[in-house]
Amino acid sequence: MTWMMSAGTDNEGTSPKVSGALLVAGTTSDAGKSVLAAGLCRWLARQGVRVAPFKAQNMSNNSVVTGDGGEIGRAQAVQAAACGLAPSVRFNPVLLKPGGDRSSQVVVLGRAVGEVSALSYRARKAELLRTVLATLEGLRADYEAVICEGAGSPAEINLRADDIANMGLARAAGLPVLVVGDIDRGGVLAHLFGTLALLDPADQALVAGFVVNKFRGDPALLEPGLRQLRELTGRPVHGVLPWREELWLDAEDSLSYTADGVIGRPAPPVGGQWLRVAVVRLPRISNATDVEALACEPGVSVRFVTEPSRLADADLVVLPGSKATVRDLAWLRRTGLADAVRAHPGPVLGICGGFQMLGARVHDAVESGAGEVAGLGLLDVDVRFEPDKTLDRPRGSALGEPVTGYEIHHGRVVRRADDLAGLVTLPDGAPEGALRGRVAGTHWHGLLENDAFRRAFLRWAAAHAGRDGFEPAPDVDFAARRTAQLDLLGDLVAEHLDTDAVWGLLERGAPSDLRVVPPAGAPTLV
């Protein structure tokens, strides 16, 4: 996964001195916090500022492995690339990985430390806040600027008392706050005003301004609303970022994908036929971004599906990763998707949890406690879950091409048929994953981001699907696509944000005379 090491600009030279930090909060999930933070990181790095990203607490099953063998949210790895940095556990000290509606695995400074419920987690917040603040303090000592990203919405007042990711962090660390809202959903002015108004006066004192995201149309039509928002709140809108359809890679939230489940913007095929890919959207899907590299290929249509009929016209079926393999395997059976996957006549690829589901048996006394469960039986392997999580960034070869990837899983192959080939061959000659006929599986995330392998894999899939007229493009460079997206984010910040105001927040913090907007927190009951 060299993109995390090399993408971005070198920001180790002479640079302006800012010695500050700010927090990007959002009115909702997927409002644009991650992309605005990445854009700010890219813009600052271009100015020669030594800048780092930070998210105190992330709740996501999209994660990556750092160089020192830790685990952080994928969005912070992308933001690190925007800074020209390798990912570090310092950039995301607390990661929550949901395994069900009421429980999550807690990862602290890159290491899993146990499972918690929503209520039991709250009892650990004070201890975790100390870790968060110490980590942020270290980053502020080592870098000239730190761009922090909030989580969800700061106006979740039911959670404010022990918040460590939004206004709780801002108050404890003295961070000025920008609140971003997504106008594409509608009601953005109400979202921005209401978010501020629900905060108590001390929290409001740190909210320095707003940013509108995903605007389409004539900015002149929006201007009267922005002017009135400033009159009502005493705070400016520091920028209106336009909608750009190119911005879809490395989505932090599944809400980022289109309503019909299509991933990316498919380009016409190079050959005479399309290759249609159906990715099963598991309830507890993890690292869904694995398939985004396929969606960058001309003539490859990649779509998320949740019911059996959508597999009927698919050429390739992908079972992606899962934070709860056994539970999602049971969901496949309840929905009829398990039978549809088994009956699919074309190629099937399983990644991590999806690979485990394709096997003969899964023994899980760790995540679900279910013991031995039958798999789909398409690959003759048995998997056993171990308490210690595998976190690695291995290398090898696959389909004749050199490959890299990363591993994040509790399940380990404990039995494989003697005649079963590996999808990947490790440097010592050992097999990884499995390959038999039209079915392939691997524990490696990021495998499809290897350009030469991806082309070889698409030729393999097309051959097994009978798509003789499909031809992979010879020149798709996935790492370059990701770098171009980061550059675009930096361009949007430079062109559409009041960057002088951003400098001011980093250098001086929030203005001292910001107005309190009623009701300013919970009312007093008499």
48-63 pLDDT tens trace: 999 999 999 999 889 9
Task: Quickly tell me which residue has 């010592």 as its tokens.
Answer: 428
Is residue 263 in some structural domain? no
> Which is nearest to 275 in space by CA: 286, 287, 291, 290?
291
220 and 312 part of one domain: no
Compute the average pLDDT of residues 248-257. Answer: 59
Is residue 136 in some structural domain? yes
Task: State the amino acid at position 368 in one-letter form.
Answer: S
358 and 497 part of one domain: no
Is residue 512 in some structural domain? no
231 and 285 part of one domain: no
In the chain, how many H helices and how many E strands? 16, 28
Compute the average pLDDT of residues 407-430. Answer: 95
Phi, psi for 79 (deg, rounded to 5): -65, -35
pLDDT tens column, 366-384: 888 899 999 999 999 999 9
pLDDT recorded at residue 2? 42
The pair of structure tokens assigned to 185 is 């959903």
Least confident range from 11-15, 116-120, 295-299, 387-391: namely 11-15
Which residues neighbour 382 within 8 Å (Cβ) at sequence distance 6 or greater?
359, 360, 361, 362, 363, 413, 414, 415, 416
- The count of structural domains within the chain is 2
Phi, psi for 101 (deg, rounded to 5): -70, -25
Compute the average pLDDT of residues 135-160. Answer: 95
Is residue 295 in some structural domain? yes
359 and 495 part of one domain: no
**Is residue 484 over pLDDT 50?**
yes
**b (16+ CB within 10 A) / e for 301-333:** bbbbbeebebbeebbbbbbbbbbbbbbbbbbbe
Task: Output the average pLDDT for the chain.
Answer: 91
CA separation, residue 239 to residues 78, 132, 256, 310 (Å):
22, 29, 21, 41
Cα dihedral 331, 449, 487, 498, rounded to 10, equals 20
Task: State the amino acid at position 296 in one-letter form.
Answer: C
* Distance (Å, whole) CA 66 – CA 406: 9
**Is residue 256 over pLDDT 80?**
no
**Is residue 8 over pLDDT 50?**
no
Confidence band, pLDDT 50/70/90 cuts, at residue 103: confident
191 and 51 part of one domain: yes
Question: Where in 295-398 does DSSP place strands (E)?
Answer: 300-305, 316-319, 321-322, 348-351, 361-364, 371-374, 381-392, 395-398
Compute the average pLDDT of residues 175-188. Answer: 94
* Distance (Å, whole) CA 162 – CA 295: 40
CA separation, residue 64 to residues 56, 60, 311 (Å):
16, 11, 29
**Is residue 12 over pLDDT 60?**
no
414 and 397 part of one domain: yes
Burial of residue 29 (number of CB atoms within 10 Å: 0-12, 13-18, 19+): middle
**Is residue 119 over pLDDT 90?**
no
Is residue 294 in some structural domain? yes
Is residue 12 in some structural domain? no
pLDDT tens column, 325-349: 999 999 999 999 999 999 999 999 9
* Distance (Å, whole) CA 313 – CA 315: 7
Question: Where in 183-287 does DSSP place strands (E)?
Answer: 207-215, 237-242, 275-280, 285-286
Least confident range from 22-36, 166-180, 238-252: namely 238-252
Confidence band, pLDDT 50/70/90 cuts, at residue 17: low
176 and 296 part of one domain: no
Confidence band, pLDDT 50/70/90 cuts, at residue 170: very high
Between 523 and 376, residue with greater pLDDT:
376
401 and 442 part of one domain: yes
CATH of the domain at 335: 3.40.50.880
* Distance (Å, whole) CA 210 – CA 177: 9
Is residue 169 in some structural domain? yes
Confidence band, pLDDT 50/70/90 cuts, at residue 13: very low
**b (16+ CB within 10 A) / e for 219-237:** eeebeeebeebeeebebeb
207 and 105 part of one domain: yes
362 and 453 part of one domain: yes
311 and 422 part of one domain: yes
Is residue 517 in some structural domain? no
Cα dihedral 291, 282, 314, 63, rounded to 10, equals 0
Q: What secondary structure, in 3-state letters, does 157-188 show?
A: HHHHHHCCCCHHHHHHHCCCEEEEEEHHHCCH
Taking the model in full, what pTM does it have? 0.91
Catalytic residue among 191, 409, 443, 445: 445
Question: Which residue blocks in 205-251 are alpha helix, DSSP H?
Answer: 219-233
Task: Quickly tell me which residue has 């990649």 as its tokens.
Answer: 302
Domain range for 394 is 271-473
280 and 208 part of one domain: no
Catalytic residue among 191, 352, 410, 496: 352
Residue 445 appears among annotated catalytic residues: yes
CATH of the domain at 243: 3.40.50.300
pLDDT recorded at residue 7? 40
